[in-house]
Amino acid sequence: MNAIIRYLIYMLLLIGFSCIASAQTVIIVHPENTLEKASRADISNIFLGKKTQWDGGGKIIAVDHKKDSKPGKAFLDVIVKMSENEYKNYWVEKMLSGEAEPPKNFSSDEDILKFVKANKGAIGYISAENVQEGVKVIPVDDKKEW
């Protein structure tokens, strides 16, 4: 009986840890931004420098996360569909050709939140659990989190 109870506790702990480890990622913009939803292709084009102006006018300021972070890895896998090296190489080529500047890079959700709150044209991504007042979450392909 004790073995069964230990096994059940062990399984519950594993389930709990896997839920924590799979924190979801969300796209955020300044609350005054008119964007209400976007497709994966729209967001990818923004972060690849292919779309630089908001539909309602104004410059887009993309804010990138460290690529070795959970949000950074999720963003590359789900939205941009590139490896970290492919993404870095893409931006090296863009910069060398003078076509575009890469997104601003921040190392934490808190820094991204602070920047997006302060800049009307900003767009970034963070862990869903760290969303605060002062930003708007944008569904991507009708999903708030991914």
- pLDDT tens per residue across span 112-126: 999 999 999 999 999
Residue whose token pair is 């002062």: 134
With a cut of 70, say whether residue 22 has pLDDT above it.
no
* pLDDT confidence of residue 9: 56
Q: Which domains does the chain have, with CATH numbers?
A: 24-138 (3.40.190.10)
* pLDDT tens, residue by residue, 35-79: 999 999 999 999 999 999 999 889 999 999 988 889 999 999 999
pTM (2 d.p.) = 0.82
E strand intervals along 1-146: 25-29, 61-65, 104-106, 122-127, 136-138
Per-residue pLDDT, 64: 95
Q: What is the pLDDT of residues 29-38, one digit of tens each?
A: 999 999 999 9
| Number of C-beta neighbours around residue 137 at 10 A | 14
For the chain, count helices (H), then strands (E).
5, 5
Q: How far is CA 10 from CA 13, 19, 21, 108, in A?
A: 5, 14, 16, 32
For residue 79, give every residue at least 6 positions away whose Cβ sits within 8 Å of its Cβ, in sequence order, or none: 40, 43, 44, 47, 125, 140, 146
d(CA 108, CA 98): 28
Q: Does 8 have pLDDT greater than 80?
A: no
Please say whether the beta carbons of 137 and 26 come within 8 A: yes
